[in-house]
Structure 1
Amino acid sequence: MARMKDKVALITGGASGIGLSAAHLMAKAGAKVVIADFNADGAKEAAENIKTQGGEAVGVFLDAGDAVSIKEAVEFTVKQYGKITSLFNNVGSTNLKKDLDVVNVDLEEWDRLMSVNLKSVLLGCRFAIPHMIETGGGSIVNTASMAGFTGDAVRVAYGASKAAVVNLTKYIAAQYGKNNIRCNAVAPGLILTPAAKNNMPSEVLDIFAKYNALPYHGEPDDIGHTVLFLASDEAKFITGQTIQVEGGHYIANPTVPDFEQFMKIAQR
């Protein structure tokens, strides 16, 4: 309970998946939590569920593409609980029908993803940091992605926006560290959020499993626990870092699984 005692956390995109996991874990650890999401009903329902478990939380509407909405969420948090000590910038979006390769990516979709995935992080920090400075500091965690570290056949806008989040995290850490503000990011690989389970065919999940170093997929709590650690004082000497939570999917030579299969056949 003491890990987040006296902390006040604003979590964007907190009504489901990774954000919801972080909200529950932070509340369980003693934080007062504001869950902000475009799905306002889902955010309020999540907050009520936390309250039934003995935690303190409230749900509010957030449009991550609107600067005014982001500012209002920060100001609501401060008005509701007197301060903001933890900010989890977790909103992210992608669209596989429009976010294609460099030649074919929809340029309006490029602009939309840069706004939702990147500018929303900048704005969340822009509005929260002055309040954090007033109360002695805080911790910011941004959701990046392993797509920000690798190339892929599609999702060029998503990958570019998440790579920018990684570097923006370093800039925030460098510029506000002397104000006792830490800023880190978490880069998930494939995580079995409800959206992933509902939208990814089993064949695609099998492909990811083939290249994981571990024999299972990640769950939202795997990211939620990392966020909780980075937001807590246990990580007080960690800043400007991006923690990759991806089951070892990207650590090996990409030919390893195919080479192992080749060797099995050759040894028959």
Structure 2
Amino acid sequence: MGRVQDKVALITGGASGIGLSAATLLAKEGAKVVIADFHVDGAKQAAESIKAQGGEAVGIFLDAGDDNSIRAAVENTVEQYGKITVLFNNVGLTNLKKDLDVVNIDLDEWDRLMNVNLKSVLLGSRYAIPHMIRAGGGSIINTASMAGFTGDSIRAAYGASKAAVVNLTKYIATQYGKDNIRCNAVAPGLILTPAAKNNMAPEVLDIFAKYNALPYHGQPEDIGYTVVFLASDESKFITGQTIQVEGGHYIANPSIADFNEWMKKAQG
């Protein structure tokens, strides 16, 4: 308890999944949290759940594709709690039907994902940083993705936007480090959020499990605990980094799982 005591955190996309886990754990560790989400009812319900557990939280509306809405979320946080010292830029979109390969991608979808996945990180940081400077410093945490480090058969816009988040994280860290502001990112692999469990066939989950180094999938709390660490003073000498939380899915020769299966058959 108390790892982020008295810090004030704004979590975008905090009504469910990774954002909700981070908000809940930050509040449990002493932070006052503002949960901002397009689904405002979900944000308010999440805040009520946190308060029922003894935490401090409010839920507000956020349209991460709108400049004024992002500014308002930051200002509302400061008005509510007097400062902002933690910003978790967590909002992100993907679209498997329109975000295809380079030849066939819907160009309007490219623009939409760049606006929400990347520009919202820029704008959230843009509006929060002056308040963090006045508060004596802060920690900005961005949700990247392992898609920003690898190629895939589809989701060109998503991957490009997340790769840009990784580099923008370094620029923010470089430009505002002397103001005692740190900026890091978290790159999740497959995390079993409600959306992932509802939208991915069991066979697809099995494919991911086959290539994980660990014998299980990630949970939202695995990202949430990483966010708490990066928000806390425990990570005070870490900035400009992207922590890959992906169960070892990407660390090995990509053929190792198939090779191990071949070896078992050969020995049997």
Bin for the TM-score computed over the shorter chain? over 0.9
Q: Kindly state the Cα deviation for residue 149 of structure 1 after the two structures are TM-superposed.
A: 0.2
Number of residue pairs the alignment of both structures matches:
268
- Aligned counterparts, 1:12-23, within 5 A: 12-23=12-23
- Structure 2 residue runs without a partner (length 5+): none
Q: Distance in 2 between matches of 1:198 and 1:264?
A: 33
Q: Distance in 1 between matches of 2:6 and 2:195?
A: 33
- Aligned counterparts, 1:43-192, within 5 A: 43-192=43-192
Q: Kindly state the Cα deviation for residue 88 of structure 1 after the two structures are TM-superposed.
A: 0.1
Provide the secondary structure at the position in 2 that maps to 1:2: coil
- Structure 1 residue runs without a partner (length 5+): none
Look up the match of 1:42. Answer: 42
Q: Kindly state the Cα deviation for residue 209 of structure 1 after the two structures are TM-superposed.
A: 0.2
Cα deviation digits, residues 72-93 of structure 1 (max 9, x gap): 0000000000000000000000
- The amino acid across from 1:147 in the alignment is A
- The amino acid across from 2:60 in the alignment is V
Question: Hey, which bits of structure 1, 4+ residues long, moved more than 2 A?
Answer: none
- The amino acid across from 2:119 in the alignment is K
- The amino acid across from 1:88 in the alignment is F
- The amino acid across from 1:255 in the alignment is S
Q: Distance in 1 between matches of 2:193 and 2:73?
A: 24
Normalised by the length of structure 2, the TM-score is: 0.99
Provide the secondary structure at the position in 2 that maps to 1:228: helix
Q: Kindly state the Cα deviation for residue 2 of structure 1 after the two structures are TM-superposed.
A: 2.0
Provide the secondary structure at the position in 2 that maps to 1:250: coil
Look up the match of 1:198. Answer: 198
Look up the match of 1:26. Answer: 26
Give the CA RMSD over aligned residues.
0.5
Q: Distance in 2 between matches of 1:236 and 1:51?
A: 28
Look up the match of 1:6. Answer: 6
Percent identity between matched residues is 82
Q: Distance in 1 between matches of 2:108 and 2:266?
A: 50
- The amino acid across from 1:187 in the alignment is A
- The amino acid across from 2:122 in the alignment is L
Provide the secondary structure at the position in 2 that maps to 1:225: helix
Q: Distance in 2 between matches of 1:170 and 1:265?
A: 46
Q: Distance in 1 between matches of 2:31 and 2:162?
A: 27
Q: Kindly state the Cα deviation for residue 266 of structure 1 after the two structures are TM-superposed.
A: 1.5
Normalised by the length of structure 1, the TM-score is: 0.99
